[in-house]
Amino acid sequence: MITGKNYIGNQLSAKGNKTYKTFNPKLNIENEHTFFEASEEEIEKAVISASEAYKTFKNISGSKKAEFLNAIADEILALDDELINTYISETGLPEGRAKGERGRTIGQLRTFADLVAEGSWVEATIDTADLDRAPIPKQDIRKMLVPLGPVVVFGASNFPLAYSTAGGDTAAAFAAGCPVIVKSHPMHAGTGELIASAIHKAAQKTGMPDGVFSNLNSAGIDVGIQLVKHPKVKAVGFTGSIRGGRALFDLASQRPEPIPVFAEMGSVNPVILLPQATKNKGKALAETYAKSITLGAGQFCTNPGLILGIKGEALDNFTNILSDEIVKIEPSCMLHPNIIGNYERNRSTALEQGGISITAEYDSDVMINHARQTVTKVEGKTFLENTTLHQEIFGPFSMVVQCENAKELETIISNLEGQLTGTILAEDEEASTYNSVIEALQNRVGRIIFNGVPTGVEVCPAMLHGGPYPASTDSRFTAVGIHAIKRWVRPFSYQSWPNDLLPDELKDENPLGISRLVDGNHSQRKI
């Protein structure tokens, strides 16, 4: 049941004066529930109780954490239609998408449960003593990953489940042993509260400490700012715009004790169309890309916003077919009037730039809050000189850049900001003749795709979802897949520590049977 209140650990609370409602973009009306923004006192309480919870939660066994994560998944499923209907009413997204995203969220929680139940993720490393070593005896040193402390999570508007309240950041932080305070996204506050209730029930059923999770409502940026500045908060996970992520990163760096902000932000996901592929399969690629650009009204961080090719008949052909195909697709509803407002504004800014022309624009009447898909083209030189054209336009928008030759293509790629993904569309035999173009792309992205589309992020251990700034604030980490846990931990060493006082992961007997690096060899054996 939605109450509009904040979850401060085990307590529902509504002490703030500011209230707000979510919005149904399809019906163009406000939803019924009123949400209470967290007051300063409530924020303080949530952080203090997270920091108290940390004292026990950090030492909870992997198998108990797995029970907790699996129980969250079960409780989310138990929300059933109430969750799906609330999701739809707060986003305008269809039922299939809501259920698909729920499946992904459940899958992420269960994957982290399996990871911590098995236990080897802590990277236990043991160097045994050699007290006879000359000239200095070698001490026994043992290292493993330990949780950072209370973590604040900000979700994005376009993934109310998978990148929000119990999304990848929260699941990974719980798996690591960090209590989580979620700054609820105002556009899907009802969905957020339902998920928070599921986490709360799971925490109680599996005996987790009060304060292991809080969910704070906010109508604007103040709650998030207070949270990031709080001295007891030790790290931040953010998914959203470059502007928002950068503001929080700067805030966290300016604290007396700076803390890491792992921000996953926007991207234009360049697609490189090599000449043979353009010539031989331009039609099929154009049809595929028309669908990819408009998928979910273009509201994906991996949306292909930039297509780069070498000038000529084949590229013209591709652009024409892409333009013809994209206007055949029915426009979709965007998430919120603010999102469509930003789309229209950013699109207009791009279209006002010199040298850019529209090749396709859906020009029939559209329903309220539905986005008109747009394809544009521009010369390579113009694009290179005007960085306004390099910015993400969040929505069903893409730009074809016509380069003079491979050299210009490479120069443009090298001048792009960091990106989540880059795609190469090529015939098998031509890829090797464009090595320097491919290497330039590899330097700018977190994931490179061969003959595919960037939309769709598989959740698996080998996935890297991140990239050089501004795709993320730290390209060494991923937001998707089990290695996302590494954002919420730090390595910690014990020197000459008594065996019975060591954590189980580092004890001689290896009671958890985990894989460890012992004196340079991977092993599950006792010492």
Q: Which positions are annotated as active-site residues? A: 264, 301
Q: Based on CB atoms, which residue is closest to ligand NAP, 124 or 236? A: 236
Mode of pairing for the β-strands spanning 419-425 and 516-518: unpaired
| Residue 216: half-sphere exposure toward Cβ, Cα within 13 Å | 32
DSSP 208: P
Which residues, including other chains, have CB under 8 Å from residue 270's CB and lie 6 or more apart?
A: 306, 307, 308, 413, 416, 419, 422, 423, 441, 444, 445
The nearest distance, CB 488 to ligand NAP, in angstroms, is 16
Question: Judged by CB under 6 A, does residue 340 bind ligand NAP?
Answer: no
Kindly identify the residues of this chain, within the stretch 277-336, that bind ligand NAP according to CB under 6 A. Answer: 301
* Stretch binding ligand NAP (CB under 6 A), from 233-241, 283-291, 399-407, 434-442: 233-241
Exactly one of 87, 112, 154, 477 binds ligand NAP (CB under 6 A); that residue is 154
Kindly identify the residues of this chain, within the stretch 412-431, that bind ligand NAP according to CB under 6 A. Answer: 420
Q: Are 366 and 274 in contact (CB under 8 A)?
A: no
- Nearest-5° Cα angle at 167, 344 to 253: 75
Q: At what angle do helices 189-205 and 62-91 cross, to 10 degrees?
A: 160
Mode of pairing for the β-strands spanning 397-403 and 374-379: parallel
The nearest distance, CB 342 to ligand NAP, in angstroms, is 8
The radius of gyration of the chain from alpha carbons, rounded to an integer in Å, stands at 25
Question: Judged by CB under 6 A, does residue 378 bind ligand NAP?
Answer: no
Tell me the residue ranges of DSSP E strands in 383-440: 397-403, 419-425
Kindly identify the residues of this chain, within the stretch 394-413, that bind ligand NAP according to CB under 6 A. Answer: 394
Q: Based on CB atoms, which residue is closest to ligand NAP, 261 or 438? A: 261
Question: Judged by CB under 6 A, does residue 214 bind ligand NAP?
Answer: no
Mode of pairing for the β-strands spanning 419-425 and 270-273: parallel
Find the distance separating the first CA and the last CA of the chain, reported in whole Å.
53
Residue 522 CB: number of other CB atoms within 10 A?
9
For residue 337, whether the previous peptide bond is cis, meaning omega lies within 30 degrees of 0, is no
Q: Based on CB atoms, which residue is closest to ligand NAP, 54 or 87? A: 87
Q: How many chain residues are in contact with ligand NAP, going by CB under 6 A?
A: 29
* Stretch binding ligand NAP (CB under 6 A), from 120-128, 138-146, 149-157, 486-494: 149-157
The nearest distance, CB 302 to ligand NAP, in angstroms, is 8
Q: Based on CB atoms, which residue is closest to ligand NAP, 225 or 358? A: 225
The nearest distance, CB 38 to ligand NAP, in angstroms, is 12
* Stretch binding ligand NAP (CB under 6 A), from 239-247, 289-297, 403-411, 486-494: 239-247
The nearest distance, CB 290 to ligand NAP, in angstroms, is 20
DSSP string, 457-487: ---STT-----TTTTBS-TT--SSSGGGGGG
Kindly identify the residues of this chain, within the stretch 167-206, that bind ligand NAP according to CB under 6 A. Answer: 183, 185-186
Three-state secondary structure string covering 438-454:
HHHHHHHEEEEEECCCC
Exactly one of 209, 244, 298, 304 binds ligand NAP (CB under 6 A); that residue is 244
Q: Based on CB atoms, which residue is closest to ligand NAP, 328 or 476? A: 476
Exactly one of 60, 235, 248, 286 binds ligand NAP (CB under 6 A); that residue is 248
Residue 99 CB: number of other CB atoms within 10 A?
14
The nearest distance, CB 5 to ligand NAP, in angstroms, is 18
DSSP string, 217-247: --SSSHHHHHHHH-TT--EEEEES-HHHHHH
CA dist., res. 123 & res. 126, Å (int): 10
Kindly identify the residues of this chain, within the stretch 250-279, that bind ligand NAP according to CB under 6 A. Answer: 264-266
Kindly identify the residues of this chain, within the stretch 453-482, that bind ligand NAP according to CB under 6 A. Answer: 465, 479
Exactly one of 156, 182, 356, 360 binds ligand NAP (CB under 6 A); that residue is 156
Q: Are 236 and 110 in contact (CB under 8 A)?
A: no
Exactly one of 14, 48, 77, 225 binds ligand NAP (CB under 6 A); that residue is 225
Question: Judged by CB under 6 A, does residue 224 bind ligand NAP?
Answer: yes
Structure tokens at 295: 């998928």
The nearest distance, CB 457 to ligand NAP, in angstroms, is 8
Structure tokens at 37: 């923004």
Question: Judged by CB under 6 A, does residue 93 bind ligand NAP?
Answer: no
Exactly one of 137, 220, 355, 511 binds ligand NAP (CB under 6 A); that residue is 220
Binding residues for ligand NAP (CB under 6 A): 154, 156-159, 163, 183, 185-186, 218, 220-221, 224-225, 239-241, 244, 247-248, 264-266, 301, 392, 394, 420, 465, 479
